[in-house]
Amino acid sequence: MRWSQMFAPTLRDDPAEADAPSHRLLLRAGYIRQLTAGHYSLLPLAVRVRAKIIAIVRAEMDAIGAQEMLLPALHPAEPWQRSGRWDLMGREMFRLRDRRGADHALGMTHEEIFATVAGELNSYRQLPQSWYQFQTKFRDEPRPKGGLMRTREFTMKDAYSFDIDRPGLDASFDAYHGAYTRIFDRLGIPALPCEASSGTMGGSGSTEFMCPSDVGEDHLVHCAACGYAANIERATSVLPAVSDEPGLPTPERFDTPGVRTIEDLLAYDAPADRQIKTLVYILDGTLTLVLLRGDHPLNEQKLVDATGATALRAADPAEIRDALGALPGSLGAVGVSLPVIADEALRGRRAMFTGANTDDVHLRGVDVDRDIDVGLWADLREVAAGERCVRCGEPLEIQRAIEVGHIFKLGDRYARALGAEVLAADGRRVPVIMGSYGIGVERAMAAIVENHHDDRGIVWPLSVAPFQVVVVAAQSDDSEVAQAAEDVYTALTSTGVETVIDDRSERAGVKFRDAELTGIPFRVTVGRRGLADGTAEVTTRATGDTVKVPLASVSSHVRSLLTG
């Protein structure tokens, strides 16, 4: 490839709209261009990187026996309605009607469609099966951001396993876990496998692969001592033991004029860890009280996971007053007949403070087990940095992270809904047991850049770089330099090295800048000074190290770098 013929529109300055290093550098280096919010055109250099990412993922999928398919991106509503997710997915699903008035959607994911294909499986003897694809997905993100990290149109490698029973699913899940570990290692992404919420996917468990990054939108809870890792939506911790006094025989009312917050109530000798925070939510249309310790924040995903709610929102003040007779700041669950869900940290607590459901009045001496009818106990609180690890007791760390992969144990939810059943060994027809496994291709590209860049540009790992080597003719107007650069270029390409020659009529500094910005791992510079003593300079992008190599040995030297 000749740079003079290549479309790589590099920019001298940072784009104003870029809000992450990968976004800024992929724009500046001529890899991507935005069409509209959340939709990007991948230019030639990006297409080459994308192809290498796909090749690595495909190789690891094939290595565990997965078979590649390609299913439609446009789906009829019917399979989504049968699974119950047509309404559950809400506004993030792009929906449309065809000329006959039939409802369709652009696929956010493909569980329903793969389960439909699996309906052609007949016998347990055909299992296990493992299928995958690379397909465009569409999600109407309300706030696309970060360039390729959160878009509305993207490529996903999604895979699905089909087994006869739970042990089979466990084996398939473990195989994908190993494959994902190898994939991210080959891509140069330092990804941690983390316990995670299954969210709208459902199932018995899931693991996210999280890449620590300051621009990540998720939060990773990690113990450096033992390796425990979990998404903050799933993470748990050990709290210090609490010993309560016996308290009062019955709750006692007291006036609290102007008290609206946990902090306000501190003035009444009510420490935050002795307060019961009462939140009011509408869960699938039912007004529900959610209780936590005063100093603990709620993690809404934990509430969803604990209740299985498909629709959740905080109640508005009018709804709260109609149900409880008071506004937020004076709410409590003592004596109410509404459903109550409480965080485990409140179990067994005595001598607590809470609202009296009368404005500007609170209760002291509340015994949770005695005075509150808790319908469901669950882990609802969000873990905080410094709390103790559930495995080893050491302090936990919290850091921002990018979700680069997610694997799920789905169970039989989709098989039952879509009729994917087989004949078992005992003659019964049973639903197949499914797993689901996803990697976002363009997000992986962005995550690589987030982890491999410096102040001069991208520093691609060799495994995914668009070219392995760039040959720079320092003085293109010098016929001898130009010919020597051509000879090096020919020697490299003839031995299979992916090479681009920068033959543009530009200053050497411009060529060096673009070579560094685009992140090509090795640069071979041919110039007048080196030509005079029969050498070229070979520069390693990652380290900046430069060595002089005889022109006749450049090809063999570069090949040794590529294989070493």
Which tokens in the block code for residue 165?
Answer: 């029973």
| 140 lies in the same domain as 50 | yes
Last residue of a domain, one of 378, 409, 437: 378
Q: Does residue 276 form part of some domain?
A: yes
| 207 lies in the same domain as 299 | no
The confidence score (pLDDT) of residue 199 equals 65
The confidence score (pLDDT) of residue 117 equals 97
The confidence score (pLDDT) of residue 196 equals 86
| C-beta neighbour count of 102 within 10 angstroms | 11
Q: Does residue 36 form part of some domain?
A: no
Distance CA 304, CA 412 (A): 20
Which tokens in the block code for residue 470?
Answer: 């760039």
Closest listed residue to residue 401, CA positions, set 57, 149, 49: 149
Q: Does residue 539 form part of some domain?
A: yes
Last residue of a domain, one of 378, 408, 424: 378
The confidence score (pLDDT) of residue 476 equals 87
| 308 lies in the same domain as 165 | no
Q: Does residue 130 form part of some domain?
A: yes
Q: Which residues contact 31 (CB under 8 A, 6 or more apart)?
A: 42, 43, 45, 46, 49, 518
The confidence score (pLDDT) of residue 197 equals 81
**Enclosing domain of residue 312:** 252-378
The count of structural domains within the chain is 3
Q: Which residues contact 192 (CB under 8 A, 6 or more apart)?
A: 209, 210, 211, 212, 220, 222, 229, 401
Q: Which residues contact 277 (CB under 8 A, 6 or more apart)?
A: 262, 291, 292, 293, 294, 296
Residue type at position 393: G
| 52 lies in the same domain as 155 | yes
| 410 lies in the same domain as 500 | no
| 206 lies in the same domain as 124 | yes
Query: Residue 435: which H helix or E strand, with range?
Result: strand 433-440
| C-beta neighbour count of 300 within 10 angstroms | 18
- DSSP single-letter state for residue 280: E
- DSSP single-letter state for residue 123: B
Give the domain CATH number at 297: 3.90.960.10
The confidence score (pLDDT) of residue 88 equals 85
| 207 lies in the same domain as 114 | yes
| 481 lies in the same domain as 555 | yes
Give the domain CATH number at 549: 3.40.50.800
Distance CA 301, CA 208 (A): 15
| 444 lies in the same domain as 415 | yes
The confidence score (pLDDT) of residue 323 equals 95
Q: Does residue 270 form part of some domain?
A: yes
Q: Which residues contact 96 (CB under 8 A, 6 or more apart)?
A: 103, 104, 105, 106
Q: Which residue carries 């020919």 as its tokens?
A: 490
Q: Does residue 205 form part of some domain?
A: yes
User: Per-residue pLDDT for the chain (564 aa), expressed as one digit of tens each?
Assistant: 999 999 999 999 888 888 899 999 999 999 999 999 999 999 999 999 999 999 999 999 999 999 999 999 999 999 999 999 998 888 899 999 999 999 999 999 999 999 999 999 999 999 999 999 999 999 999 889 899 999 999 999 999 999 999 999 999 999 999 999 999 999 999 999 999 886 655 556 889 999 999 999 899 999 999 999 999 999 999 999 998 988 899 999 999 999 999 999 999 999 999 999 999 999 999 999 999 999 999 999 999 999 988 889 999 999 999 999 999 999 999 999 999 999 999 999 999 999 999 999 999 999 999 999 999 999 999 999 999 999 999 999 999 999 999 999 999 999 999 999 999 999 999 999 999 999 999 999 999 999 999 999 999 999 999 999 999 999 989 999 999 999 999 999 999 999 999 999 999 999 999 999 999 999 999 999 999 999 999 999 999 999 999 999 999 999 999 997
Distance CA 437, CA 439 (A): 7
The HSE-up count of residue 274 (CA atoms within 13 Å, CB side) is 20
| 374 lies in the same domain as 409 | no
Distance CA 89, CA 112 (A): 13
Is the pTM value of this prediction over 0.85? yes
Distance CA 364, CA 291 (A): 16
Q: Find out whether 288 and 340 touch, Cβ atoms under 8 Å.
A: yes
Q: Which residues contact 248 (CB under 8 A, 6 or more apart)?
A: 351, 364, 365
| 374 lies in the same domain as 405 | no
Give the domain CATH number at 213: 3.30.930.10
Q: Find out whether 168 and 128 touch, Cβ atoms under 8 Å.
A: yes
Closest listed residue to residue 213, CA positions, set 235, 234, 236, 192: 192
| C-beta neighbour count of 410 within 10 angstroms | 24
Last residue of a domain, one of 448, 481, 507: 448
Q: Does residue 433 form part of some domain?
A: yes
Q: Does residue 388 form part of some domain?
A: no
| 256 lies in the same domain as 367 | yes
Distance CA 262, CA 353 (A): 10
